[in-house]
Structure 1
Amino acid sequence: MPPRHASKVRTVGYKDISSTLIREIKEGVWALNELLPSEMDLVERFGVGRNTVREALRELQALGYIRRRRGARSVLASHDPDGGFVNSVRSVSELLDYAETAHSVHLGAEHIRVGERLAQRLDCPPGSEWIRLGILRSREPGGDPFCLSEIYVDPVYQDVLKVLDNDNRIFPLLEREFDIVLQQVVQTIEAAEADANIASRLKVPIGSPILLVRTTFRGSDGRVVEIGLAHFPAGRYKVRISLDRKPA
């Protein structure tokens, strides 16, 4: 006997699910900050596998409609979000959630010794050595990239690249594989211009305005274990930060 909903599994894709949910969101089926149906509810409703539902929810998050947290139901963040890739942040752990939901293309890894100019960008001593990993991120395969990430890892931990998982975030793997406790995350955001390399990767003219985000990760001993440089072209990325004030 064929499995239940077998015919639907072949015809319903994540785009169909996300389009249906977006239409319902715009129609006001859910109020702002209301919980959406669980993944299993959506699996039953659409007759698809859980991975298909997760892809649909990732797309809704990328578009800025919902907020997602592991182990919890999605929350409606906006009925009509702006265009571009929106990263909704409520805590330190969500600063780099866009790396999990975006489509990522790895550009390779190399062992480098930084010169004066790069040392200034990384805020590290000239001549220091790092493993550099390049990742190009877009909302979907074939779409215009919204971020060029350069991730610098202390060579002591270079083996982490061998276990790089699908969400493309290094710091959780450093904690897991090397028993490191990451104590501090410092993020610096500034306006910049796209040089020839960045412009080519992001498909924008040289000198175009970009957002340059440097994220530095320190262990409990104060040592810098990872530095990330993320380059976002104007109009393709937005951070939405919501912080709850603790009661006095």
Structure 2
Amino acid sequence: MEISEQDIQPGDPGQPEARQPLYLAVYGSLRDEIQVGKWEIGASLPSEADLSDRFQVSRITTRHALRLLEADGYIRKAQSRRPVVTAMAPPRREGWFMDSLADIVAMVGNARLDIGSWRLERSAPDARDFELPLAARLHCLRGTLSRNGRPYARSIIYFPPEVGARLSRGAFDDAVVFRVLQRELGILIEDVRMTVWAELATEEDARDLRCEVGDAILATRLLYRDENESLIEIAYSRALASEARLSTHLVTSTRDS
């Protein structure tokens, strides 16, 4: 299967299939080949360069696809080595490891963002973090993330005036919103801080996530800063606890190399 950069372009909003990012098409093709046994467990996939030539996509696109395969447990990647197949079917996930922007991209994966609103709203705690008056109105994007037609998370994202005023509702065609800032405004993310906590589903959660009021919710708050250490995005996610799990890795001793 070959995938041309010209074959998959953003299409009509009423036809979500046409809006599939290139890296997801590459991911899907490689995943299917692994599942049918084209590569056995322990076998090496072609190099990033060879895969890019085969699918006629950029190295960055190929790298995103491989990261998603690794996040799903199909392959293992190592620096300066070709990816190795580790499973023909995705193993049980123990959670998403979050230590890079690429991990955030992999976690969102093939999700679809359905925009609920793009407007000015007041949020005193977030205005304070932006170092604005508490009554300041912030540009706010509200939406729902879904996979295979099933909603699993609500997204509420605030931007300071100098960022939000340069964006429009139509710009948010990517479920990974910080990539919109990179593409539209040339903003480079240098620092991300995340807080995680548990809550019970509200009426808004129940409506958007098709759950019951009082169901378990995993809430996250991510603060994105640019290369100048300026806070440029505050993103909240409210996900069904049954659909969300995060992991971390603590090193408790120093090992000799």
Matched residue, 2:91: 81
Cα–Cα, structure 1 residues 193 and 234, in superposed 2: closer, same or farther, change >3 Å? same
Q: Distance in 1 between matches of 2:35 and 2:71?
A: 12
Q: Answer whether contact 2:200 2:214 (CA < 8 A) is retained.
A: yes
**Amino acid of the residue matched to residue 74 of structure 2?**
Y
C-alpha change, 1:184 and 1:57, in structure 2 (3 Å) is closer
Give 1:146 deviation, angstroms: 2.2
Instruction: Give the one of 13, 23, 37 matched to 2:46.
Output: 37
Percent of matched pairs sharing the same residue: 23
Partner of 2:104: 95
What SS does the corresponding residue of 2:242 show, helix, strand or coil? coil
Paired residue for 1:152?
A: 158
- 2:145 alignment partner, SS class: strand
- Answering whether residue 242 of structure 2 is matched by residue 229 of structure 1, we say no
Cα offsets for 1:13-50 (capped at 9, x unmatched): 9867634423439xx8233xx75335755985xxx876
Check 1:221–1:128 CA distance in 2 against 1; reply closer, same or farther (3 A cut). Answer: farther
For 2:31, the aligned partner's letter is S
Assess if the C-alpha contact under 8 Å between 2:68 and 2:109 holds in 1: no
SS at match of 1:98: helix
Residue matched to 1:139:
147
Larger relative contact order (CA 8 Å, sep ≥ 6): 1
Residues 1:94 and 1:17: Cα distance change in structure 2 (over 3 Å): closer
Aligned equivalents of 2:52, 2:41: Cα separation in 1: 15
Cα distance change on mapping 1:161 and 1:62 into 2, 3 Å: farther
- Asked whether the equivalents of residues 62 and 102 of structure 1 are also in contact (C-alpha less than 8 Å), the reply is no
Distance 2:141 2:175 in 1: 10
- Tell me which residue corresponds to 1:171: 178
Q: What secondary structure, in the 3-state scheme, does the structure 2 residue paired with 1:24 have?
A: coil
Q: Which moved more, 1:154-163 or 1:226-235?
A: 154-163
> How many angstroms apart in 1 are the aligned matches of 2:236 and 2:188?
21
Partner of 2:202: 195
Secondary structure of the residue that 2:142 maps to in structure 1? strand
The residue type equivalent to 1:65 in the other structure is Y
User: Using the alignment, how far apart are the partners of 2:105 and 2:68 within structure 1?
Assistant: 16
Give how far 1:156 is off: 1.6
Aligned to 2:211: 204
1:145 deviates by 1.9
Q: Tell me the SS of whatever aligns to 1:106.
A: strand
| 2:28 counterpart of 1:22 | no
Q: Is the 8 A contact 1:64 1:81 kept in 2?
A: yes
1:56 offset after TM fit, Å? 8.1
CA offset at residue 223 of structure 1?
Answer: 3.6
1:200 partner SS: helix
CA distance in 2, matches of 1:67, 1:160: 38
* Structure 1: runs of 5 or more not aligned: 5-12
